Amino acid sequence: MVYKSQNNFNMKKIAIFASGSGTNAQNIIEFFNKSGSARVQIILTNNFKAYVLERAYKFNISTRIFDRYEFYQTDNILSILQKNQIDLIILAGFLWLVPSNILNMFPGRIINVHPALLPKYGGKGMYGNRVHQEVIANHEMYSGITIHYVNESYDEGDIVFQEKCLITTDDTAETLASKVHELEYKFFPVVIEEILKKL
């Protein structure tokens, strides 16, 4: 087995887009710091208050904050991704649709994790506890995660991976969220690594 050091210029580079706390982002950073098979090159956010910025600082990872105009009306963010030679874009709690200029330049190289079993409980406005509340209100037996490619519509890209968890009668949105987070932490980095191997 050949160990790939952090200075390997052939190492795959990941960009993470996040809007909030960044627990998944940190989990991905730690996974690849340990595995050495890729590295998180930059974290981008549309929220200047997002705690993911603190997590990035802790790991000495570059960050970029942008607003809606810059994201949708300019090529600035696309240029940053290209300059950083990004191989794969990860959406980890990022709540905006990806604009066509980025989609077109990274076909099959943008993935997202959704906290439910798509195609159910996806679409605009379905994120965080809203998803878990709907799942419980509809008396579903299972929920879980869906890792999928990103296209021009919310949560409609081709599914890469799903894993489910059992919902019990005493589950709340909060306890279900905890179960789903555990699945995200366990499987998201592994699936990312498998996708990177195919690039």
- Structural domain includes residue 4: no
**Residue 5: inside a domain:** no
Residue 123 lies in a domain: yes
Is 71 inside a domain boundary? yes
Instruction: Tell whether the model's pLDDT for residue 151 goes beyond 70.
Output: yes
Length of the chain: 199
- pLDDT > 80? residue 6: no
Rounded alpha-carbon distances, angstroms, from residue 5 to 25, 32, 33, 102, 196 = 21, 11, 10, 29, 17
With 60 as the cut, is the pLDDT of residue 138 above it? yes
What are the structure tokens assigned to 137, written together? 């209100």
Q: Phi first, then psi: what are they for 10, rounded to 5°?
A: -85, -5
Q: Say how many domains are in the chain.
A: 1
Question: What does the block give as tokens for 2?
Answer: 């050949």
Residues 65 and 48 sit within 8 Å (Cβ to Cβ): yes
Say which CATH number the domain at 88 has.
3.40.50.170
What is the Cα gyration radius of the chain?
A: 17
Query: Within a domain: residue 6?
Result: no
Does residue 17 belong to any structural domain of this protein? yes
Indicate whether 103 belongs to any domain.
yes
50-96 pLDDT, tens digit each: 999 999 999 999 999 999 999 999 999 999 999 999 999 999 999 99
Q: How is residue 69 annotated by DSSP?
A: H
Q: Is 132 a catalytic residue?
A: no
Parent domain of 61: 12-197
Identified catalytic residue from 114, 139, 148, 181: 114
In a domain? residue 3: no
- Residue 109 and residue 131 in contact, taking contact as beta carbons nearer than 8 Å: no
Number of H helices, E strands in the chain: 7, 7
The structure's pTM equals 0.93
When pLDDT is cut at 50, 70 and 90, the band that residue 8 belongs to is: low
State the CB neighbour count (10 A cutoff) for residue 122. Answer: 19
